[in-house]
Amino acid sequence: MKLKVPKNIKDVNTMTGQFVLSFLATTISIALTFGSAHIAEQKKKSKEKREIVMMVMYDMQSTLNMLDECDSCLNGFFDKQVEILENPETFDEQRLYLAQLIPRMDYPTTLENIFTSSIETINTVGNTLFVERVSIFYDMRSKYKHEIFDDFIQNMEGCIENIDSLAAFSETVEYPLLSGAYITDLKMLFEQCKQMMYVTDEELQTFVDERYKLDKAHDATVGDMTEQAVMENEKRIQRFKEAVEKQKQ
């Protein structure tokens, strides 16, 4: 096999130029391939980060709305308690209003558990200060539940049985103060997190609206499935009754 030997310097320059062009084309192709993959990966990570941030902000906002309602009940309970104690003859009539002012506090902890225990989630967010503030928020939410809500529910048991037990429930003076202090700190943490992650009120409201639509569609689907399951169960009950009647004949 004979090697093709260039006959003159022009041929050498031509071959060199073709090699350089081929090399550059290959290099550019590789760079574009890996560059595009890197850009796509960065966009994916950025999207995942934003989704996590928005979910956390939504959870924090939902918590604050729930605590505002709880705080309103605590203040309302105290006001109604004082009103009844000032007019003890109205106790039997007004005690039902007290029962309606007992606060409720129930929230899912799935997102909190994922956020605070998953290293991958924390790395995806990539903002240590944000993670720290969110962790403090969740810790304070837990303390609010135990130190205020749970304590209130435990202490108020039996307090609306008679006027004397209602008068003995003096802790109601403290709950609104503690509740207000906690909520003030929690709202401050919420605003700090919004600023750190550049989350606007409009962006958060859009996310809330989208979640509402998804939840509404989910509830409707579950409702239809539940209704269908009930109907099928009624048919089974009827079939069973008919089978029992035939067995008796």
**Which of 104-108, 155-159, 175-179 has the highest average model confidence (pLDDT)?**
175-179
CA distance 105 to 183: 14
Query: Are 53 and 197 within 8 A, CB to CB?
Result: yes
**Cα distance between residue 77 and residue 71, in whole Å:** 10
For residue 151, which of 70, 83, 91, 84 has the smallest C-alpha distance?
A: 70
In a domain, 206, yes or no: yes
Distance of alpha carbon 131 from alpha carbon 1, whole angstroms: 69
Contacts of 135 (CB under 8 A, 6+ apart): 115, 116
| Contact between 98 and 160 (Cβ < 8 Å) | yes
Q: Contact 70/104 with Cβ under 8 angstroms?
A: yes
Q: What are phi and psi of 143, to 5 degrees?
A: -65, -40
Structure-token pair, residue 48: 């995942």
| % of residues, the chain, pLDDT over 70 | 77
Q: Is residue 195 part of a domain?
A: yes
Q: What is the pLDDT of residues 172-221, one digit of tens each?
A: 999 999 999 999 999 999 999 999 999 998 999 888 888 777 766 655 56
Q: What is the mean pLDDT of residues 219-230?
A: 64
Question: What is residue 38's predicted lDDT score, i.e. its pLDDT?
Answer: 44
How confident is the model at residue 60, as a pLDDT?
Answer: 94
**How many CB atoms lie under 10 A from the CB of residue 236?**
10
- The pLDDT value given to residue 236: 84
Residue 23 lies inside a defined structural domain of this protein: no
Q: How far is CA 61 from CA 8, 183, 191, in A?
A: 79, 12, 10
Least confident of 34-38, 159-163, 241-245: 34-38
Tell me the mean pLDDT in the region 233-240.
80
Q: How many other CB atoms are found less than 10 A from the CB of residue 114?
A: 14
Average pLDDT of the chain, as a whole number:
82
Q: What is the CA radius of gyration of the chain?
A: 33
Residue 96 resides in a domain: yes
Higher pLDDT, 68 or 96: 68
User: Does 180 fall in a domain?
Assistant: yes
**11 within a domain of the structure (yes/no):** no
pLDDT at 82: 95
pLDDT at 45: 64
Whole-angstrom Cα distance, residue 57 to residue 138?
A: 12
Residue 205's alpha-carbon distances to 191, 209, 221, in angstroms, are 14, 6, 24
Could you tell me the CA-to-CA distances from 244 to 18, 230, 237, 240 in Å, in that order? 92, 21, 11, 6
| Residue 10 counted as domain residue | no
- Is there a domain that residue 21 lies in? no
Q: How many domains does the chain have?
A: 1
Domain that holds residue 202: 57-212
pLDDT at 119: 74
Helix (H, G, I), strand (E, B) or coil at 55: helix
